[in-house]
């Protein structure tokens, strides 16, 4: 049981549900059945990615991380690959129950996860691919929540997916999206930008030695924090109330503290332990970032619900590494 909890990085699992809640907030709707299905699909696809990651890296891990479940012999490679396949199928099945638009986004997310683990993570496109995956994950929550409302058809979703993928790859101007899709894109791209920074640092966690990556991530975190603290991430809606702004600043400060401090330490001393700690901090920082995005979209209650996951994630991180 412990071997599988390490393989699936259960301590990082609590960074996933906030994507669906932030997506629901971005489209201005209360979480419902679609949001719950999107969260379940996201959890399955995230865990599929973790299992597939260790299966694909089993030879490399035998040299750099022999303590991991597969190289240590505690989990068979075939079992890890089978788990990745089953979890992917389960994630797509849950997304399908939220409607065809949600399934379309989930299919793009699943394809991105498998492409990243099997090939892209060892290329220069690795950070962009992981950023696209998180961007699509928030869009999945927004799409599943809004499915059935006027204007939330498949064409809108396809436009949103194309816009997110184009922006994540730096491929120039994104195509124009329908209003429902545009409401979720700013928050999705903010989360994607943070993911890009964390992934760029993670490429050096085994050997260390990179000062540039954590410094760039630190600058990125500062820019993201400033953007979030400026106010609403949704393009429409009234300005936040004083109570909403107070929560927004509290969540933003928690994000900066969780992510910036370990990135600074890794930049000053890029040793493997501090680089790994920076990656772990960047992963945990997704929770307060999701809370800030929800509060910035006018849903502070969603943000408080997301922040409730912090103590659980912190407690589990002491037992199972999120990286």
* 193/203 Cα distance (integer angstroms): 16
**Predicted confidence band of residue 233 (pLDDT cuts 50, 70, 90):** low
Specify which of 70-84, 179-193, 266-280 reaches the highest per-range mean pLDDT: 70-84
In this predicted structure, the answer to whether residue 170 has a pLDDT above a threshold of 80 is no
Q: Give the containing element (helix H, strand E) for 147.
A: none
| pLDDT for residue 207 is more than 90 | no
Most confident of 104-108, 173-177, 241-245: 104-108
Q: What is the pLDDT of residue 208?
A: 72
pLDDT of residue 17: 95
Which residue intervals of 57-121 are DSSP H helices? 58-64, 77-97, 100-118
pLDDT, residue 264, reads 94
The mean pLDDT of the chain is 86
Q: With bands split at pLDDT 50, 70 and 90, how would you rate the model's confidence at 320?
A: confident
Among 13-17, 210-214, 286-290, 317-321, name the one with the lowest average pLDDT: 317-321
What is the C-alpha separation between 265 and 274, in angstroms, rounded? 7
pLDDT of res. 282: 94
How far apart are alpha carbons 39 and 320 in whole angstroms? 22
Q: Are 131 and 196 in contact (CB under 8 A)?
A: yes
Q: What is the mean pLDDT of residues 74-93?
A: 97
> Can you give the C-alpha Rg of the chain in angstroms?
18
Domains of the chain: 2-317 (1.10.357.140)
Task: State pTM to two decimals.
Answer: 0.86
Confidence at 174, pLDDT banded by 50, 70, 90: very low
Write down the pLDDT at residue 316.
84
What's the distance, CA 95 to chain centroid? 17
Cα–Cα distance, 32 to 36 (Å, whole number): 6
Burial class (CB in 10 A: 0-12, 13-18, 19+), 310: middle
Give Cα 123 to chain centroid, integer Å.
Answer: 20
Is it the case that residue 265 has pLDDT exceeding 50? yes
Identify the pLDDT of residue 322.
Answer: 77
Cα angle at 228 between 222 and 232, to 5 degrees? Answer: 165
* pLDDT score of 229: 82
Kindly list the distances between the CA atom of residue 222 and the CA atoms of 76, 108, 197, 219, in Å, as whole numbers in the listed order: 42, 30, 11, 5
């Amino acid at each position: 049981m412990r071997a599988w909890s390490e393989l699936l990085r259960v301590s990082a699992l609590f960074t996933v549900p906030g994507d669906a809640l932030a997506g629901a907030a971005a489209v201005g709707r209360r979480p419902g059945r679609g949001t719950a299905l999107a969260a379940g699909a996201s959890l399955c696809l995230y865990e599929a990615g973790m299992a597939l990651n260790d299966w694909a890296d089993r030879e490399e891990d035998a040299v750099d991380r022999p303590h991991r479940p597969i190289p240590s012999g505690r989990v068979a490679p075939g079992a890890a690959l089978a788990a990745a396949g089953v979890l992917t199928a389960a994630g797509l099945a849950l997304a399908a129950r939220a409607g065809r638009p949600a399934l379309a986004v989930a299919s793009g997310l699943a394809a991105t996860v498998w492409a990243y683990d099997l090939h892209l993570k060892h290329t220069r496109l690795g950070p962009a691919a992981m950023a696209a995956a998180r961007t699509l994950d928030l869009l999945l929550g927004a799409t599943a929540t809004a499915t059935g409302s006027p204007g939330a058809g498949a064409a809108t979703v396809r436009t949103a997916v194309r816009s997110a993928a184009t922006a994540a790859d730096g491929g120039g101007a994104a195509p124009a999206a329908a209003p429902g899709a545009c409401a979720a894109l700013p928050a999705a791209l903010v989360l994607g930008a943070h993911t890009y920074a964390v992934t760029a640092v993670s490429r050096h966690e085994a050997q260390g030695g990179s000062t540039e990556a954590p410094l760039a991530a630190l600058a990125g975190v500062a820019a993201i924090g400033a953007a979030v603290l400026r106010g609403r991430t949704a393009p429409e809606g009234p300005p936040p109330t004083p109570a909403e702004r107070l929560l927004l600043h509290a969540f933003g400060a928690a994000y900066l503290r969780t992510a910036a401090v370990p990135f600074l330490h890794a930049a000053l001393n890029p040793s493997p332990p501090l680089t790994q700690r920076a990656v772990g901090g960047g992963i945990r920082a997704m929770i307060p970032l999701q809370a800030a995005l929800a509060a910035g979209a006018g849903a502070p209650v969603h943000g408080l619900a997301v922040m409730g996951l912090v103590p659980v994630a912190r407690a589990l991180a002491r037992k199972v590494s999120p990286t």
